[in-house]
C-alpha cells in the first residue's frame, strides 16, 4: 500500500478538497498508472452530492473520476497488455467477476459483481474504490485500455465515459450509413453522440433547446439542427428517425421524440432523469417503437470505440482546468456553462 | 348497395341497438361474407364510448366488431382466394394503400392510409366503415383470411384481434423454445398470450392480481403463475425474463416488470392505458432493456397466426352470447367478468 494525492469530498455538502488516499501495491496482473488527465462527468457531481442515494448511495470520502488517461509507470509480472511508458486509459469499471454470462458476452458493465472505478467496493483494500481525481491508480490489466497515439490526451479522457456511453447504443441499434439518427441534448454526452453518429456515416440531426448552439452542432458534425422548442420544426421530422439518442438527464417530454421515430425505430436513454418519465403507450404501439436504456459499454467495445475514435481523430471538446477549479467547474457544469466537457490536468495536483 | 341488419350506437352514451346499415355491392375483388361469429374486443367498448377521442374520435352511428368469422356467400369475378361456401375471417383491417413501405413489408397495420374495419373512412360508400356486429360484410380479398377447418368457430373469432395482437410481438421479439416469457394480465389478450407463448415452446409465467386465476392460468398453458401483488413472488424472478407481454390497459406500475427482464430483455405493451406510464430510466439503463408497443399484425402474419393456431388447435376461451346481450356483456367485460372473451353468435341477429 502506498499513499497518493487526490481530491475528495467528505460529505454530500462538502466541496472537493485535497486529500491523501491509499493505493494497493501492484499484484502480478496489475498496472500502475500515473494519471495525466481526468474528465469531469455529470455522474461525478451526482455521486459527490449523493443524488443517486436510492440506487447507489455514496460512501464518504469519495474520490470521483472515471475518464482517466495516463501513462503506465509499473506493471505486474504477468501483465502483457502494456509496458511502462505506454499511454493507458481507465473508464468506469476496474473489475468484474469474469465468469458470469454478462462478462462472457463482453458486457462487463452488466456484471452483478462489477467494481466501479469510484464508490465501488474495493476488493483489495476494503472500503470503497477511489477514482481518477488523483495522482495515480492501480488497475487489473483486463480493465486497462490502449490509447491511440494520435489523439489529444485531454480530449481523449472523456471518451472513457461520454464516448463509450454514446458509441455503444449506436452500435447496438445499428447506426450506420443511410440511417437517420437524432441526438437530443448538446452537452458532454450529446456532443460526443453527434461526432460519433457522423463518423458512423449516418444522417445526424441534433436537437437542442438553444438556437445559439445551432452553428456549433453543425461544426460538430450534425447534418441538421432542430430547435426542439419549435413544434413546427419538430413536426417536419415525424416518423422519420431510425434511432434517437436521448442524453438529457433533466425532466423533459420524451413522447415528442418517440413520435419522430419511424416504424421499429428506437430511442435510447443514456441520461437518467431522477423523476420517472411520462410515456404515452400510444406512441410506442403505433409504429412498434421502442424505448431503451444503455449504460456505458463493455471493455472490448470500449477499446473498439477508442480505436474508432483514433481512426476518425475524434476527441471531446474540452476545457482543461487545474484541479483547484474543480468545485467551480461543477457549478458551471450544472449551468451547462462548458463546451462541452471539463477535463482536469492532473499535473496541477502536484502543487498541492 | 344493399341493407343489412346490425347493432349500432348513436352516441357515446347510447346503448347498442338494432339498426340497418348499407353494404356496398361487391366489386370484382370483393368477398361478401355472412357473419357467423364476432368477438367483443375491449377496443369496441372504448370506441363506442369515444374514449379514444384524442387519437381516433368516434363517428356515430358506430357498428363495432373486428373479430369476424363467417362464410363466403359471394365473390367478385377476380377473386381467387376463396369461393362461396368457404369459411373466412376478417380482422381489424379491411384496406390499405398497398404501395407504401409498410404495406410492402407486410405490415399493413402501420400503413398511413389503412382502413379500419369499423370507424374507418369508407372509400366506397363514403362515411365510416361498419364492423362485424352485423349480418354480413363486404371486404377486398386481400384482407380476407382463411380459417383452419379444425377450429371451433366461436373460439376462433377472437384470434383476429386478441390472437394476432399477442402472436405478432412474440414472433417479432423472438419468443421460441428456451425463452422465459411473462404474460401480464389474464383477460382477453392475456389468456391468448399464455396459450400462444406455450405453443411457441417458451417457459411461460402468467402474472395476475387474482390468486383465484392461478389454476386457470396453469390450465391455459402457464408453467408458473405469479401473483403480482406479492413482492416476494415478484422478486424471485428479478432479471430473468427474455420477454414480457403486458396486456393491461388499466393504470399499473410497469417498472416492477421492467426489473424482471434480463439484459436486453423486452417488455411490449399491447394494452393502451389512457394515462401516461411512469417509467424509471434506471430500470431501462441497467440491463439495456427495452419497452415497446405493438399493434395487431399484418395480413400475412395474421394468416400465419391462424395457421399456427390451427396446427396447435388454439382458440380463445369464449362465452357465446346473443347480440341482444351485448350491452350487458360490455358492463361485465369492464368488470373482467368473463372467461375470457365474449363472442356474439350472429344468428341471434336474424330474430331482430
Query: Does residue A207 share a domain with residue A105?
Result: no
**Among candidate residues A263, A260, A227, the one with its CA nearest the CA of residue A245:** A260
- The answer to whether residue B110 neighbours chain A at the CB level (below 8 Å) is yes
Kindly state whether residues B140 and B22 are assigned to the same domain.
Answer: yes
Q: Do residue A181 and residue A126 come from a single domain?
A: no
Q: Give the long-range contacts of residues A206-214, CB within 8 A, separation 24 or more.
A: A206/A182, A207/A182, A207/A183, A207/A257, A210/A186, A213/A186
Alpha helices in B81-157 (DSSP H): 101-104, 153-156
Is residue B310 a part of any domain in this protein? no
Please tell me whether residues B224 and B108 are part of one structural domain. Answer: no
Whether A46 maps to a domain, the answer reads yes
Q: Among B277, B293, B309, which residue terminates a domain?
A: B293
Closest CA to A139 of A155, A107, A167, A115: A115
Same domain, A34 and A131: yes
Same structural domain for residues B20 and B131?
A: yes
**Domain annotation covers residue A299:** no
Residue B21 contacts residue B6 (beta carbons within 8 Å): yes
Same-domain status, A337 and A283:
no
Question: Closest partner residue to A288 among B281, B283, B295, by Cβ?
Answer: B295
Where residue A100 sits, what CATH number does that domain have? 3.90.180.10
| Contact criterion met (CB below 8 Å) for B70 and B19 | no
- For residue B38, the cross-strand partners are B68, B344
To the nearest whole angstrom, how far is the Cα of A268 from the nearest Cα of chain B? Answer: 9
- Number of folded domains that form chain A: 2
Residue B77 lies in a domain: yes
In-domain check, residue B311: no
B79 and B180 assigned to the same domain: no
Residue B253 contacts residue B267 (beta carbons within 8 Å): no
B110 and B16 within one domain: yes
Reading chain A (352 residues) residue by residue, the pLDDT tens digits are 999 999 999 999 999 999 999 999 999 999 999 999 999 999 999 999 999 888 889 999 999 999 999 999 999 999 999 999 999 999 999 999 999 999 999 999 999 999 999 999 999 999 999 999 999 999 999 999 999 999 999 999 999 999 999 999 999 999 999 999 999 999 999 999 999 999 999 999 999 998 888 999 999 999 999 999 999 999 999 999 999 999 998 888 999 999 999 999 999 999 877 789 999 999 999 999 999 999 999 999 999 999 999 999 999 999 999 999 999 999 999 999 999 999 999 999 998 8
**Can you tell me the ipTM of this complex?**
0.93
Looking up residue A253, the CATH number of its domain turns out to be 3.40.50.720
Tens digits of residue pLDDT in B174-214: 999 999 999 999 999 999 999 999 999 999 999 999 888 89
Q: Is B123 on the interface with A (CB under 8 A)?
A: no
Instruction: With respect to residue B133, please indicate whether it lies within any of the assigned structural domains.
Output: yes
Residue located via cell numbers 339498426: B19
CA A319, CA B295: separation in Å to the nearest integer?
48
**In A, which residues are within 8 Å of B245 by CB distance?**
none
**A289 contacts B271? CB cut-off 8 A:** no
Give residue A185's domain range: 162-293
Whether A25 and A135 map to the same domain: the answer is yes
Q: Cell numbers 395487431 label which residue?
A: B296
Q: Are residues B244 and B211 part of one domain?
A: yes
Residue with cell 500500500: A1
Rg of chain B taking only CA atoms, in angstroms? 20
- Is A102 in CB contact (< 8 Å) with chain B? yes
* Residue A300, domain member (yes or no): no
Residues B129 and B188 both lie in one domain:
no
* Beta-bridge partners for B207: B184, B226
Q: Is B250 on the interface with A (CB under 8 A)?
A: no
CA distance B34 to chain A (A): 31
Amino acid at each position: 500500500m502506498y499513499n497518493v494525492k487526490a481530491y475528495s469530498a467528505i460529505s454530500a455538502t462538502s466541496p472537493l478538497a485535497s486529500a491523501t488516499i491509499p493505493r494497493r501495491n501492484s499484484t502480478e496482473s496489475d498496472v500502475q498508472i500515473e494519471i495525466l488527465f481526468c474528465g469531469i462527468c455529470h455522474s461525478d457531481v451526482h455521486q459527490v452530492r449523493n443524488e443517486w442515494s436510492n440506487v447507489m448511495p455514496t460512501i464518504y470520502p469519495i474520490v470521483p473520476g472515471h475518464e482517466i488517461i495516463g501513462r503506465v509507470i509499473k506493471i505486474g509480472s504477468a501483465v502483457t497488455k502494456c509496458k511502462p511508458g505506454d499511454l493507458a486509459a481507465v473508464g468506469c469499471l476496474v473489475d468484474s467477476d469474469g465468469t458470469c454470462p454478462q462478462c462472457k458476452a463482453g458486457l462487463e458493465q452488466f456484471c452483478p459483481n462489477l467494481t466501479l472505478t469510484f464508490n465501488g467496493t474495493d476488493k483489495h483494500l476494503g472500503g470503497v474504490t477511489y477514482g481518477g481525481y488523483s495522482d495515480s491508480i492501480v488497475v487489473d490489466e483486463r480493465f486497462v485500455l490502449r490509447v491511440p497515439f494520435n489523439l489529444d490526451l485531454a480530449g481523449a479522457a472523456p471518451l472513457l465515459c461520454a464516448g463509450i456511453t454514446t458509441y455503444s447504443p449506436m452500435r447496438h441499434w445499428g447506426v450506420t450509413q443511410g440511417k437517420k439518427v437524432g441526438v437530443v441534448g448538446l452537452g458532454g454526452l450529446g456532443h460526443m453522440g453527434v461526432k460519433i453518429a457522423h463518423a458512423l456515416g449516418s444522417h445526424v440531426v441534433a436537437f437542442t433547446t438553444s438556437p445559439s448552439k445551432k452553428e456549433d452542432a453543425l461544426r460538430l458534425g450534425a447534418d441538421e439542427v432542430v430547435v426542439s422548442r419549435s413544434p413546427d420544426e419538430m413536426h417536419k421530422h415525424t416518423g422519420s428517425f431510425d434511432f434517437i439518442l436521448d442524453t438529457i438527464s433533466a425532466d423533459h417530454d420524451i413522447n415528442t421524440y418517440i413520435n419522430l421515430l419511424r416504424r421499429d425505430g428506437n430511442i435510447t436513454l443514456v441520461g437518467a432523469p431522477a423523476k420517472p418519465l411520462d410515456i404515452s403507450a400510444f406512441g410506442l404501439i403505433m409504429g412498434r417503437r421502442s424505448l431503451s436504456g444503455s449504460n456505458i459499454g463493455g471493455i472490448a467495445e470500449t477499446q473498439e470505440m477508442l480505436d474508432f475514435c483514433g481512426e476518425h481523430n475524434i476527441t471531446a471538446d474540452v476545457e482543461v482546468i487545474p484541479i483547484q477549479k474543480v468545485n467551480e467547474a461543477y457549478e458551471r457544469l450544472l449551468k451547462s456553462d462548458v463546451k462541452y466537457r471539463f477535463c482536469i490536468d492532473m499535473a496541477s495536483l502536484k502543487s498541492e
